Each structure stands twice: as C-alpha cells, then as structure tokens.
Amino acid sequence: MSKIIVFVEANASGTANRASLEALGAAKSVGSDVVAVSYGIGGAALDAPKHIALEGESYSPDGTAADLAAIFAEEGATAVFLASTGVGRDVAPRVAALLDAPCFSDVTELSDEGGLVFTRPTLAGKLITRVRASGANGAAVATLRRNCFGAAEDGTTAGAGRPAAADLKAILTEIAAKEGGKLDVSEAPIIVSGGRGLKEPANFKLIEDLAAAFGNAAVGASRAVVDAGWRPHGEQVGQTGKTVAPGLYIAVGISGAIQHVAGMKTSKVIVAINKDPDAPIFKLADYGIVGDALEILPVLTEAVKGAMAGA
Amino acid sequence: MNIVACIKRVPATETQPKVAADGMGLDHSALEYMLSFYDEIALEEAIRSKEAHGGEVTALTLGPTEASKELRDCLARGADKGRVSLDPACHPREPRTTPTPTAATDTARGAELVFCGRQATDRDNAAVGPMLATMLGWSCVTDVIELHIDGTSATAKRESERGIEHFRFTLPAVITCQKGLNEPRYAGLKGIMAAKKKPIEEAEPMLVESATEVVGVSLPPARPAGRIVGEGPDAVPALLEALRTEAKVL
Ligand SMILES: Cc1cc2nc3c(=O)[nH]c(=O)nc-3n(C[C@H](O)[C@H](O)[C@H](O)COP(=O)(O)OP(=O)(O)OC[C@H]3O[C@@H](n4cnc5c(N)ncnc54)[C@H](O)[C@@H]3O)c2cc1C
Ligand SMILES: Nc1ncnc2c1ncn2[C@@H]1O[C@H](COP(=O)(O)O)[C@@H](O)[C@H]1O
C-alpha cells in the first residue's frame, strides 16, 4: 500500500483550495497512510491523520519542493500528490527531480493494482495513457486534475507548524488580484464561451450578460478571438489555452476545431449555438440550437434569469 | 550571455491519433509534426534576450535526426546554433522523466538562461523545465507571461488561480514560457538563407533509464450523440427544459 504526501495549497483568501482538498480525498481513497503538508492556510484543520503546516517568511516553489522532498524521506512515503493547479504544476516537477521520480501531470484517475496506476490524458486529451512508477525506489509524483476526485471532508487535524526551507531561489514578492475578481474558466462550474461567430468584440457583452445571468459562470473564448485581441489570453479554452471540465459548457459561435474541443470535451454537459448546422461542434454537443447567436443570446439570457429567479 | 532554447518536435495539433498495434503508445506511422506551440514562444524570448543583452542562442532538442528540420526553422528565426541530442526512443518514452533534462544539462551548464515551453503539446507534462532547473540547482519560474532581466537580477510574472504572481530571482535560470509572453516572429527569406550556413550539431546524449512503465494507451470514450433542440430564439424554451429536466444542470 502507498503512503502518500499531499500538498495542500491556499487560495487567494488563505483557505485550502478546493483542488487540493480533492487531491487529499484522492490520496485517502488509494493510500494506506496520508500526510497532508499545507502552506498558507494557517494550519487550519484538514481531514488527514497527520498534518504538517509549513511556515515561512516568503513562498518559493523551490523551497516548497525541498520541504516536500524532505518530508517524503522522513515519512518513508511512496508518492507525493499535488493539485494540478498553477502552483501544483510549478512545484511537482521539482519534487520529482529531487526524488529522482517520474512526474505524472494532470492525472484524471487512480487505481491500486499492486502499486498505484495513474491515468492521464496526453495530446490534449486525444489519447489516454495509463502509467506506473518503475524506478528503483518506486516513487511517484503526481498532479491531480480538478473535478475528477471527491474532495476530502472537513477536517479535524490542525497543522503542526514546521519552518519552511530557507534557501530560496525564486521568491514570490506579490500576488496581484486578477481584474475585478472575475471567476476563472479553470474554476467555474459553468462556462459561456464565444468565438468568431460573435462578429465583433462589442458583442461579447451578450456572452458576459449570459454568464452573469447564471451567477456562477465564467466567460471563455476560442483562440481565434483571443489572437484577434478581442479577449484576454486567460480566457482561451483549448489545446494551447486552458483545459476545462465544467458542469455546463456553452459554445457560442465556435466552430469546434480539434484544438478547441481538446480543451473542453470532458465538460459534463455541452451546449452549442451556431448558425451552421454542419459545424463540428454539434457532433460533440449534447444540445444544439442552430441560428444567429446575436438573436438567440438575449432571449436565452432572459430565460436563464427567469429560471434562476424561479430556482 | 549564453542562451538555450529547448525545443521539441511534436505531432501536429490537428492530429487525430491512432493507438499503436501493441496498445502501448501512439501509432507514429502517418503523423505530421510541428515545433511545439509553446517552444515557439521560448525561442522568441531567447532571441529577444540575445537582442537585448547580447550573446548567443542555441536551440536544443532531444529527439530523432529528423528533428533537425525544426531546428533549422529555429535557426531561420534567429537562433545561432542547433544541437540534436539523438534519442531515437524519444517518442515511445511515456511520459519522459529525467532523460531530457539530463541531456540538456551539459548544454545548459555554460548558459545563463534556458527557455522552455510551458508544456510540450504531445505529453503535456509541463515538467522538463523545472526538473532541469532543479537538477542544475538554478532558479526557475514557470508559465511566465512577463520577464525583465537586469544584469543577473530578474523578475517575472505568472498566472495561477491565486492571481498574477510576481517573482524575483537571480540568473542562471530556467524560464518556461506561457502564451502572452511575446508574439513569435516568422522566419523571413533572409533568415531561411542565413540558416543554411548555421551549424547543427548531433550529439550522443547521456540517457537515463526511464522510471515509468506504460500500462496501456487508449483513445478516450466517445461522447454519446446529442441533438439539435431547434432553430433560432424560438428554441430557447426547449433548451432550458432539456437543461433542467434531462441534464439537470439548472
Ligand atoms: C497550434 C494550434 C493551437 C491551437 N490552439 C487552440 C486553442 O487552444 N483554442 C482554440 O479555440 N483554438 C485553437 N486553435 C485554433 C483552431 O484551429 C481554430 O482556428 C479556432 O478554434 C477557431 O475559432 P472560432 O471557432 O472562434 O472561429 P471559426 O472557426 O471561424 O468559427 C466561427 C463559427 O461561428 C459560426 N458563426 C458565424 N456567425 C455566426 C452567428 N451570427 N451566430 C452563430 N454562429 C455563427 C460559424 O458557423 C463558425 O462555426 C489552435 C490552432 C493551432 C494551429
Ligand atoms: N525532447 C525534448 N527536447 C528538447 N526540449 C524538450 C524536450 N521535451 C521537452 N522539452 C522542453 O520542455 C518543455 C516542457 O516539456 P514537457 O515537460 O514534456 O511538457 C518543452 O516545451 C520544451 O521546451
């Protein structure tokens, strides 16, 4: 059985982020023993038999990696799990290098088959690969994709403080909030994405209105409109943008090019609005409306407002 | 300043992959290849750093001899030299663990700056850059969208769920490049001509045994067929009804 170290990172408000709690939940489901190592949550209680809270003056990914590698050795662990977030993906390969272990990124499934087997998408999800660690020490480092594993319960184990590594190379000096505290596509349960079919940047107001009607939706975009400067890079969904898997993905005026689809095809429910009945996006969509997005969006927004008010 | 851009030849993003007969990897028989998308950004940043601070850019790849085609493209865009660390087994290795960084270490050792892509668009590991930095004991900032270098001091910005993170570090460093950092240039005719005279070196890399065993490779399950609920604004009520009662997402 595996003894797993799980890194629990903080979100902007200083509480454990959801993706980390999912990594913790995943570790508890396949590991015989779990040690949570947190940073930045003030030692708040976690659902783990043991919880070490790193305490440092400054955050550094190399420092955190050194701490995780040291704790791995002290605990005699077999694996290190992190969330597949900007922070987790930054730290994980460094831990792997320190442990001389493979780094499995963006794992979507785990199983114990006489040792952990990791399932992960490659080629932007066009291929599914199952791998296991086969090094001399059998160690593995993995980042776990969001929304694939059940989160750990509320915890009771407060963090025992431990001074974080002090020999830091890249030092975090500031975290600037994103504009307007907008919900990021990688975290939103609902995404309304627009493409070139919106015709001009001003028409994205219609996409924003629909997202606002849901209340908990983020605005996404195809690469075509990001490259045209209509929308910021951070909103791009796809092979060279963000990979998303929300509960509901609404693609408006997006043709469904293979590179876009790669980033959203594991969404739970997909809706497409496109004036071309032969657009490839309809092959993927659970529900489609054929027609002019500029006419359909305002009606849909009103209907969603009504539905939300009634809910 | 000696600058290295790590680049990889990968299957083109249009690829609709097939699984190899043994079920253990990608069928490579009919693939088209390209320079990995983020590596174009890495190369561009390497060339811009040279233009700003002087020095030389080496484009480095671990891969088959054929990868010299992608290296030639890098030379045409402005790199000074190319280097292929020959690794015929590069493709089947899944996911590659330490070999690439190990092969890169020798070339990187004499450099102040190494640029990598955020991730290679084949395995999507996003691991080689920070692994290489850790092996060298260097600074590393990943997914960089803004970079400033002043002598041996540097600052960089990256985006995470927490917000825009600002980092301070010193060279030597490995930087992995995210979309938005720059707009990669194309190779002009002059560059293509000049590239013909630039050297591409082939080297036998020190390969480390993979610490990964492939259990199996498969295509993802197809999504069940959906349906068109109607045309134009009139179809909105039917869509809402489906979302509420069938899909239960409202
Ligand atoms: C290396 C590489 C990486 C890439 N990475 C990505 C990526 O990460 N993400 C991504 O999205 N793309 C990516 N692409 C680009 C991709 O190939 C497509 O070019 C892009 O997704 C097209 O964007 P689009 O659907 O908005 O535009 P188009 O393909 O032009 O489609 C516009 C759609 O709008 C419809 N339409 C037009 N008018 C209306 C209207 N009034 N109402 C309703 N519908 C209308 C049309 O029927 C059409 O289907 C990548 C390409 C390459 C080569
Ligand atoms: N075979 C390779 N040769 C040279 N550079 C590579 C190779 N594989 C990966 N890299 C570099 O490391 C980055 C991240 O790759 P990966 O960790 O495989 O996602 C790529 O964008 C390249 O810059």
Question: What ipTM goes with this model?
Answer: 0.94
**Ligand with smallest separation from the Cα of B15:** 1
Average pLDDT over residues B161-179: 96
In a domain, A268, yes or no: yes
For residue A35, the domain's CATH number is: 3.40.50.620
Residue A173 belongs to a domain: no
Using CB atoms within 10 Å of the CB of residue A22, give its burial: 0 to 12 exposed, 13 to 18 middle, 19+ buried.
buried
Per-residue model confidence (pLDDT) at position A107: 97
pLDDT digits (tens, 9 = 90+) for A254-309: 999 999 999 999 999 999 999 999 999 999 999 999 999 999 999 999 999 999 98
Q: What is the DSSP letter of A49?
A: S
Cβ distance A41 to A8 under 8 Å?
Answer: yes
Amino acid at A120: R
Query: Which range among A123-127, B91-95, B180-184 shows the weakest confidence by mean pLDDT?
Result: B91-95
Cα(B132)–Cα(B117) distance, integer angstroms: 13
CA A116 to chain centre: 22
**What does the pLDDT average to over B8-18?**
91
pLDDT digits over A15-66, tens only? 999 999 999 999 999 988 999 999 999 999 999 999 999 999 999 999 999 9
Report yes or no on B29 lying in a domain.
yes
pTM recorded for the entire structure: 0.95
Rounded mean pLDDT of chain B?
90
Question: What DSSP designation does B19 have?
Answer: B
Looking at the fold, whether A57 and A147 belong to one and the same domain comes out as: yes
Q: Which residues from chain B sit within 8 angstroms of residue A308, using beta carbons?
A: 250
Peptide bond into B172 cis (omega under 30): yes
Fill in the DSSP letter of residue B243: I
Alpha carbon of A277 to ligand 1 centroid (Å): 15
Domain hosting residue B139, numbered range: 2-203
Would you tell me how many other CB atoms lie within 10 Å of the CB of residue A49? 11
pLDDT computed for residue B87 by the predictor: 74
The answer to whether the CB atoms of A240 and B13 lie below 8 A apart is: yes
Which percentage of chain A shows pLDDT scores above 90? 91
Distance (Å, rounded) from C-alpha A288 to C-alpha B228? 4
Query: Confidence band (pLDDT; 50, 70, 90) for B101?
Result: low
Which ligand is in closest contact with the Cα of B140?
Answer: 2
Average pLDDT for residues B11-39, to the nearest whole number? 91
Check residue A272 and give its pLDDT.
98
pLDDT at B99: 47
Asked if B140 and A94 count as a contact pair (C-beta separation under 8 A), the reply is yes
**Domain of A293?**
179-310
Q: Where are the alpha helices (DSSP H) in B78-155?
A: 99-109, 128-136
Determine whether the interchain pair B237/A97 forms a contact, defined as Cβ–Cβ distance below 8 Å: no
Say yes or no: A121 and A67 in one domain.
yes
- Residue found under tokens 């002009």: B188
- What's the pLDDT tens digit per position in A225-261? 999 999 999 999 999 999 999 999 999 999 999 999 9
- Ranges of beta strands (E only) in chain A are 2-9, 31-39, 50-55, 79-83, 103-107, 109-112, 116-122, 127-133, 140-144, 160-163, 171-176, 190-194, 217-221, 248-252, 269-274, 287-290
How many domains are contained in chain B? 2
Distance, CA B57 to ligand 2 centroid (Å)?
Answer: 17
